[in-house]
Structure 1
Amino acid sequence: MSSARPEVLVEDQKDDGTFRVHRSAFLSDEIHAAEMQRVFERSWLFIGHESELAEKGEYRRRKIAGRSIIFVRSDDGEIRAFHNTCPHRGAIVCRQDKGVAKAFQCFYHAWTFNSRGQLKGIPGKDGYDGGTFDAAERSLKPVARFESYRGFHFVSFQEDIQPLYDYLAGAREYLDLIVDQSPSGQLRVADGSHQYSIRANWKLLAENSIDGYHGMPTHQTYFEYVAEAGGLGGKGGKKLHGRGHSLGNGHACVEYWAPWGRPVARWVPIMGEEAKPAIEAAKAEIVERQGAEKADRICEWNRNMLIYPNLVINDIMSTTIRTFWPVSKDYMEIDAWAIAPVEEGEGEALQTRLHNFLEFLGPGGFATPDDVEALESCQIGFEAGGEQWNDVSRGMKREALVDDELQMRAFWRQWVAQIEGYEIDDWGDAPLPDELVTPDAERTWAIT
């Protein structure tokens, strides 16, 4: 089924508290094509973390919005990103997903490029004598824009896009909370990744990743497991509480307290007594370095953040980087990595973190299979017809709570602006009257 594009894709009535998304956004081949051109060609896209390229010549081959890109630390120590195509006749020059190499050679005609992308070898070079052949012009082409923030590297195919620092907007604060877990300010991506797919539209995972409303009903089994395993305690006992935030430029976050432990740095009984001293020492170090208030956020609180359009960083019982790429209107591919402070080394804290990563966030964990089933169920429901609109108006007329949908509205406002070709400067809801603003209120749920 391919749904035609309607006149109105997103109905956003801030004063009336109405926000709806037309389901053709998930069903239309035309809209999928427009997204590739207007969203993924005109946004900053995460390509990798600096720790993945620890030594000179180390590279990763990444597929970014359908393009094959080489992410490499060159022999001069600089990190670069190149289009993975030979300037001669087009074949890819990097044929492995990762490795260490002094050079990249096209297997078709053996043109050879160094790790800085410079053309250095041509069989039968004399065949070009007398012409206008310029080796520099036939070097690997860098991506249009390539910038980083605190070790997180992004590319953009739009030359005149705003600087990454400005694009990240309010998301920088939440990236800082993750990086500042490390005494040295350095993180490390664990070797290996999870790769899987979902038969659903990519925007469903964007929504799901920052949706506090689905947590209790969809992942009830996990909360029961945590309770039975002794994972409760501290602030609120069996309650979760927190808030949703719009961070600008389509980015959004839900920040909340939950009963599970955090390797940096909240110990709970399920981690075992042997892990307690190291985790408590890590917390004491963060308090001394960052102060009590920020340390409380770093150690005790959880964050699920979407950096528009398709980067999710879950800083919860483990810290996870996840990207998801649309292949078609109803199929996406996902990559996920665990990330941790370098100081954890290979010790107990890292093992606890990786166990938590697999237990909840892995493709076979408590959460991910639930989410995959839910999103594929939505896609089937869209195909069923009848209803034409999704309602995304929860909490629109109150101060946003953790189970409200402000976060999704922030995403959709940026998405529709890009699809329709206009700019916006406000990703939040209409200002509330003073009597409805309750800064100290927090939505809580009991775990039964």
Structure 2
Amino acid sequence: MKTPDKHMEEEMTHNEPLLRSEPSTNTFKVSRQAFIDPSILKRERERIFAACWLYLGHDSEIEKPGDFVTRSVGGRSIIFARDREGKARALLNSCPHRGAQVCRERSGNAKSFQCFYHGWVFGVDGQLRNQPGEDGYGKKFKSDSDSNMHQVPRFESYRGFNFICFDPDVVPLVDYLGNAREYLDLICDQSIEGLTVIGGMQEYAINANWKLLVENSIDGYHAMSTHATYLDYLKGTTGGLANMGLVGVGRDLGGGHAVIEYTAPWGRPIAQHIPMWGEDAKRELAVIRQKLEAQYGSERAERIAIKNRNLLIFPNLIVNDIMALTIRTFYPISESRMHVNAWAAGPREESEWARKYRLFNFLEFLGPGGFATPDDVEALEHCQRGYSTANELRWNDISKGMNREIPAMDDEEQMRAFWRHWNSLISADVTQGAAA
């Protein structure tokens, strides 16, 4: 029997579906090629990162006119700024003259941006103001829209969370968010004065496919094993809460968005006290709880204060409202490496004490050196290494909870929600795509 050559093996692999869902047997499989195939990453960049709404930044990062931050979003260099009239802007950070990045600083406050290459000067709104040798250009050159810095095709905001999209025909953001708005509202409603990003941004890289961090961020199943050290630690710090456990539900919110919502044995600076915080803190949190109840009623206040949420907004925004509040995005550098950005956030009005413990919780568990993140990074990188066997072991199993009417937070329905939508985008009109 003739052995297939390498080209034939690749063609055979590419003709397989990327997703297999069998409700009759309660099984759900994802091809490991999704994590290692460069052609799939190419399609992701075209069909997801160039076509879906992507998180840019929070209002609180650019509070004053002239404030700006620069960051890479969807592989593009972007200036997120507030112009002199107070309007938020999302500018493509590329000079219309010869293409150099106009702003090379990470953040600051500016009256204008000057391209260092040929000295063109642009307002914070992106309008061309001055250029050396102006007499060498036509009279109407400056008024031509092509002479200005270009705005990102679509830029919209929801409750202080700013998003961009490179597809001018994308649906409005409020429609795109859909059922995820319920959970963003719960997160935003914990503050009367509004949320604020605290401090700077944490950045790190993981040698793994970006979709592994999507899964990990909404995966309640791994907590008891991967984070056993942290859960043991909590037994000595949380008193009666130590026996609460992780109990809740996983939900498909439609459009690839998903959430797990649950109770947990840690303190929440919004209104869940633990003994190590002391009696003064207990009284302060009781006042916060009373304000929430007065504003929203007892049922919603209970949900805001006590329930934890790991929220995925497709494709790559995670908002962890757990023992601290974290905003996280991540983008592929290659099929086996990603870049991660993370921000701590909290209510503007919270006390010095609450802010102290919020940041303590953030660094203790969610930060790059905390209990959770190093464990998660190691797990994801070992998964990526394990995919060296993808030609022999072709499928990941994501079936847990398919036999339940209401999936639990440690089931995998929320991950299946991501994969179903991902597959609908990536496999459309491609022979390897099989509908879930």
With the length of structure 1 as denominator, give the TM-score of the two structures. 0.91
The residue type equivalent to 1:197 in the other structure is A
Question: 1:137 & 1:29 partners in 2: Cα distance?
Answer: 34
Q: Is the CA contact 1:5–1:28 (under 8 Å) kept in the aligned structure 2?
A: no
Give the distance between the partners of 1:316 and 1:302, measured in 2 at CA: 5
> 1:413 corresponds to which residue?
420
Match of 1:97 in 2: 106
User: Aligned partners of 1:117, 1:26: CA distance in 2, in Å?
Assistant: 38
The Cα of 1:135 is off from its aligned counterpart by: 4.2
1:404 pairs with 2:417: no
1:307 to 310, 313, 320: 313
Residue in 1 that maps onto 2:210: 202
Which amino acid is 1:303 matched to?
R
Q: How many residues align?
A: 419
Change (3 A) 1:130 1:395: closer
Going from structure 1 to structure 2, the CA distance change for 1:130 and 1:74 (only over 3 Å counts) comes to closer
Q: Distance in 2 between matches of 1:153 and 1:133?
A: 30
Cα deviation for residue 387 of structure 1 reads: 0.9
Task: Give the secondary-structure state (helix, strand or coil) at the position aligned to 1:412.
Answer: helix
| Cα deviation digits, residues 296-319 of structure 1 (max 9, x gap) | 111111001111100000000000
1:254 aligns with 2:252: no
CA distance in 2 between partners of 1:239 and 1:321 (Å): 24
Cross-structure match for 1:355? 360
CA contact (8 A) 1:48 1:153 kept: yes
1:315-346 Cα distance to aligned partner (Å, 9 max, x none): 0000000001100000001010011111115x
Alignment-mate amino acid for residue 417 of structure 2: A
Amino acid in the other structure paired with 1:56: P
In structure 2, which of residues 86, 95, 101 is the aligned counterpart of residue 86 of structure 1? Answer: 95
Query: Which digits, 9 at most, give the CA deviation of each residue in 1:217-265, with x for residues without a partner?
Result: 1100000001012x1435x934221000111110000000001010001
Which of 272, 280, 283 is equivalent to 2:289?
Answer: 283
Aligned to 2:340: 334
In structure 1, C-alpha distance between the alignment counterparts of 2:365 and 2:49, rounded to whole Å: 29
Quick check: 1:5–1:30 contact (8 Å CA) kept in 2? no
Displacement of 1:384 in angstroms is: 3.1
1:320 aligns with 2:326: yes
How far is the alpha carbon of 1:191 from its aligned partner? 1.7
Deviations 1:256-309 (A, max 9, x none): 000101000111112233322222211111111111000111111100111110
- Determine if contact 1:232/1:259 at 8 Å carries over to the other structure: no
Match for 1:190: what amino acid? Answer: I
> How far is 1:16 from its partner?
3.2
Shift of the 132–194 alpha-carbon distance from structure 1 to 2, 3 Å rule, reads: closer
SS class of match (1:409): helix
Q: After TM superposition, give the deviation of residue 376 of structure 1 in Å.
A: 0.4
Which amino acid letter does the alignment assign opposite residue 170 of structure 1?
Answer: N
1:376 to 375, 378, 381: 381
In structure 1, the residue matched to 2:222 is: 214
Q: Deviations along 1:60-113, whole A, 9 cap, x unmatched?
A: 101001110000011010101010000000001110111000101100000000
* Alpha-carbon shift at residue 5 of structure 1 (Å): 3.0
Unaligned segments of structure 2, at least 5 residues: 1-5, 430-435
1:115 corresponds, among 124, 138, 147, to 124
Shift of residue 14 of structure 1? 2.8
2:276 counterpart of 1:270: yes
The superposition leaves residues 145-182 of structure 1 with CA deviations (integer Å, 9 ceiling, x where unpaired) of 00011000000001111110011111101000111001
- CA shift for structure 1 position 13: 2.2
* Helix, strand or coil at the partner of 1:190: strand
Letter in 2 for 1:288: A
Q: Find the residue that maps to 2:190 and give its secondary structure.
A: coil
Identity, % of aligned pairs? 51
Residue 26 to residue 113, structure 1, CA distance change in 2 (3 Å): same
Please give the secondary structure, in 2, of the residue aligned with 1:182.
coil
Q: Deviation of residue 133 (structure 1)?
A: 6.3
SS in 2 for 1:284: helix
**CA apart distance, 1:194:** 1.2
Q: CA RMSD in A?
A: 1.7
For 1:301 and 1:101, the matched residues in 2 are separated by 41
Post-superposition CA distance 1:368-388 (Å, at most 9, x none): 001000000100111134211
Secondary structure at 1:223 match in 2: helix
Aligned twin of 1:190:
198
SS in structure 1 of the partner of residue 95 of structure 2: coil
Asked if the contact 1:326–1:332 (Cα under 8 Å) also holds between the matched residues in 2, the reply is yes
For 1:311 and 1:244, how far apart are their aligned partners in 2? 17
Q: Which amino acid aligns with 1:295?
A: A
Given that residues 6 and 24 in structure 1 are in contact (C-alpha distance below 8 angstroms), is that contact kept between their aligned partners in structure 2?
no
SS of 1:61 mapped into structure 2: strand
Are the aligned partners of 2:141 and 2:147 in contact in 1 as well (CA < 8 Å)? Answer: no
Q: Distance between the aligned counterparts of 1:335 and 1:343, measured in 2?
A: 25
Equivalence for 1:42:
51
Once the two structures are superposed, residues 365-423 of structure 1 have per-residue CA deviations (whole angstroms, 9 ceiling, x without a partner) of 0000010000001001111342110001111121211111000000001111111237x
Q: Which amino acid aligns with 2:399?
A: S
State the distance in 2 between where 1:110 and 1:95 align.
Answer: 14
SS at match of 2:199: coil
| Whole-angstrom CA distance in 1 between matches of 2:245 and 2:369 | 26
Q: Deviations over 1:117-153 (max 9, x none)?
A: 1000111100013686644331010001000110000
- Alignment CA distance shift 1:130-1:298 (3 Å): closer
The secondary structure found in structure 2 opposite 1:24 is helix
Give the corresponding residue for 1:244. Answer: 250
TM-score by length of 2: 0.93
- Asked if the contact 2:244–2:263 (Cα under 8 Å) also holds between the matched residues in 1, the reply is no
- Alpha-carbon distance in structure 2 between the residues aligned to 1:278 and 1:114: 45
What amino acid does structure 1 have at the position aligned with 2:20?
E
